[in-house]
Amino acid sequence: MSDRPRAPGLLDPAILVPAARDAFAKLLPTRLWRNPVMFATAVVAAHVTWVFLRDLATGTGQPVFAGQIALWLWVTAWFACFAEAVAEGRGKAQAASLRRARSELTARRLVNGAAQPAVAASDLTPGELVEVVAGELVPADGEVIEGVATVDESAITGESAPVIREAGGDRSAVTAGTRVLSDRIVVKVTAVQGSTFLDRMIALVEGASRRKTPNEIALTVLLSGLSLVFVLAVATIPALAAWSGGGVGVIALAALFVALIPTTIGGLLSAIGIAGMDRLVRFNVLATSGRAVEAAGDVDVLLLDKTGTITLGDRQAVAFLPAPGVAERDLADAAWLASLSDETPEGRSIVVLAKEKFGMRGRDMAPAHARFVPFTAQTRMSGVDLEGSSVRKGAVDAVMAHVAAMPGARTLAPEVRAAAEGVARGGGTPLAVARDQTLLGIVHLKDVVKGGVNERFAELRRMGIRTVMITGDNPLTAAAIAAEAGVDDFLAEAKPEDKLDLIRREQAAGRLVAMCGDGTNDAPALAQADVGVAMQTGTPAAREAGNMIDLDSDPTKLIEVVSIGKQLLMTRGALTTFSIANGVAKYFAIIPALFAGIYPGLSALNLMQLGSAESAVLSAIIFNAIVIPMLIPLALRGVRWRPAPAARLLAGNLALYGVGGLVAPFVGIKLIDLAVNALNLV
């Protein structure tokens, strides 16, 4: 589906090499201080380096040991920076190609209907009109106010099939950097360069505007607090040991401190956040903030538009139900005539059904003889007037009222109404058809529920998320479709303000609501929802109101967005648990080594039977460092997630990351110690 360059894989050298370079720059104190755990690591590394240099210069102490510890401490901090740089890497590559698209933009202003010579797009101001013709790039975000055109939006969405953009309605928004393929449109500029959708997209994929999310802040506080606890635990050791008259090596102490503080999660925390945003981007959803991604994981209620999400976008005509005394063929003929000029999917499906059943083909309809009557919201009917005869089709009530108002009307209301209700009860939409004063019958339009949605909603229910179907249908029809699709609830005959009210009600009960929408009248609800996914094809108002934009304009993706949000939080939680549980093994490695000189009996705590005090300390530090790059793929990919009740998820993750976090370092440190001793590193 995408003709953008293929998203690079996890271990693509094109990303790893620049990331390795960037990681050094990130070690600067001015940048590192934002990550308290890594900042502490670097401070300790600097101190041990100083000890190493001093010992080297004076020829005292253990310079070989100190040097290796210092090296690995720096490597620990560098790995953390590297993880962040790798996570940013993919976004950077994408941003670069978007930037190229932006730099070439020029515009031709339209003043008093006349196009002016081309100027740089950056000179435009909001409200100005520009003309864009086939082959040109749209210079700025704006709204089509005149004309229709096919537009290639692949630069933004990756979707190569062109889309229609036209004045008025819900498909009027055009985006800077997209190419007009046919016709000519006049665009009213709504955003200047620097604040266009393209600019926002560049900033988002690059992570330039990244701020810590509420959960990330809370977790950083917890990790800093744990680090403080370990400052206390480690800093008091020399004084505590003074009682016993033994000295404690400053290098081993420094190593103990870094081994205990949660460097693993501290080092990967920002990478996890960036990767979460990146997963959304690769999924062709842009989140305006990390907060929105997190909120997606918390969603309790999903509001889904029926059309396009739960049912196939179009209702299909499936049957003609003639009134008593009317031949089915006459009904079909009238319905077919009334639909010939109706370009809606429903209208076309009537033509198709009539052709299938009765072989009706196009007949000569000279404009003089036929006058098409378009659908309006007032009449709720459409049709055609032909040489003194008029054919109408439309909402049952509207057509009946229309017929009743004509002289000599044949009233078959009860029978037709019964047929209409039967259709509605079955989840279909009845359409009445009349010729002149005669009510001919009902066309049964059926909503086709998408395959597989039932299972998706069942999954959501297991996750504790309630689905609510929003539809303009009457309650009867809505209930039938809701039952067929398996949603938890529905809102029938929904007006935009009903949607807004529903969101407010759910929020008042403390629930988080997600919805998607594309029309201008969706904008208030999109803004009110905790997660509002605007369709890229939607109006500028809708795109402004949402906190996510779906470039594929596929409403079913809301479900994936939720799972990406959950995955993001779970990855943080899992690695935090892993990191804290790791501390236990590190104690058993370092404490016996630290106090071996004072109380030889404490070697009983050397459960791993590590070779020597120095090798134990070095092995623990090496393990502590290399576990970060080993977990980078997990941090970037996110932990595995499948819909399940919370208790089951918790049990599974605890078994894997909690128990695993306890056991893994025992094994890892032992193996590294064997290697360290085999190589005689200390």
From 57, 111, 368, 604, residue interacting with another protein (rule: CB under 8 A): 604
Instruction: Please state, in angstroms and rounded to a whole number, the distance separating the CA atoms of residues 86 and 274.
Output: 10
Choices 147-155, 201-209, 315-323, 559-567 (CB under 8 A): range interacting with another protein: 559-567
178 in the Ramachandran plot: left (φ > 0), alpha (ψ -120 to 50) or beta?
beta
Q: What are phi and psi of 254, to 5 degrees?
A: -60, -40
Instruction: Please state, in angstroms and rounded to a whole number, the distance separating the CA atoms of residues 481 and 475.
Output: 10
Residues 211-230 that bind another protein (CB under 8 A): 214-215, 217-219, 221-222, 224-226, 228-230
Binding status of residue 570 toward another protein by CB under 8 A: yes
From 252, 260, 481, 531, residue interacting with another protein (rule: CB under 8 A): 260
Catalytic, 305? Answer yes
Q: Report, in Å, the least distance between residue 465 CB and another protein.
A: 6
Nearer to another protein, 513 or 542 (CB): 513
User: Mask of contacts with another protein, 614-653, x by CB under 8 A?
Assistant: ---------------------------x---xxx-xxx-x
Q: Report, in Å, the least distance between residue 455 CB and another protein.
A: 18
β partners of residue 441: 322, 433
How far is CA 310 from each of CA 200, 298, 467, 482, rounded to the nearest angstrom? Answer: 31, 22, 11, 9
If binding means CB under 8 A, how many residues of this protein chain bind another protein? 76
Alpha-carbon radius of gyration of the chain: 33
Nearer to another protein, 130 or 275 (CB): 275
From 243, 405, 678, 679, residue interacting with another protein (rule: CB under 8 A): 243
Q: Which of 141, 152, 305, 552 is catalytic?
A: 305
Judge contact between 546 and 534, C-beta under 8 A: yes
Instruction: Please state, in angstroms and rounded to a whole number, the distance separating the CA atoms of residues 624 and 87.
Output: 20
Binding status of residue 560 toward another protein by CB under 8 A: no
Choices 241-249, 430-438, 513-521, 544-552 (CB under 8 A): range interacting with another protein: 241-249
Choices 145-153, 169-177, 477-485, 601-609 (CB under 8 A): range interacting with another protein: 601-609
Instruction: Please state, in angstroms and rounded to a whole number, the distance separating the CA atoms of residues 673 and 609.
Output: 9
Binding status of residue 250 toward another protein by CB under 8 A: no
- Work out the widest C-alpha separation in the chain, in whole angstroms: 118
* Beta-carbon count within 10 A of 626 CB: 16
Q: Report, in Å, the least distance between residue 304 CB and another protein.
A: 17
Burial of residue 424 (CB within 10 Å: 0-12, 13-18, 19+) is buried
From 569, 589, 616, 617, residue interacting with another protein (rule: CB under 8 A): 569
Binding status of residue 465 toward another protein by CB under 8 A: yes
Binding status of residue 511 toward another protein by CB under 8 A: yes
Residues 283-302 that bind another protein (CB under 8 A): 294-295, 297-298, 300
Instruction: Please state, in angstroms and rounded to a whole number, the distance separating the CA atoms of residues 663 and 372.
Output: 77
Residues 50-89 that bind another protein (CB under 8 A): none
Instruction: Please state, in angstroms and rounded to a whole number, the distance separating the CA atoms of residues 632 and 84.
Output: 9
From 65, 74, 490, 595, residue interacting with another protein (rule: CB under 8 A): 595
Q: 184-189 and 466-470 as β-strands: parallel, antiparallel, unpaired?
A: unpaired
Judge contact between 348 and 301, C-beta under 8 A: no
Residues 308-367 that bind another protein (CB under 8 A): none
Judge contact between 555 and 516, C-beta under 8 A: yes
Element (H, E) at 316: strand 311-322
Q: Report, in Å, the least distance between residue 10 CB and another protein.
A: 22
Choices 18-26, 96-104, 274-282, 507-515 (CB under 8 A): range interacting with another protein: 507-515
Which residues are known catalytic residues?
305
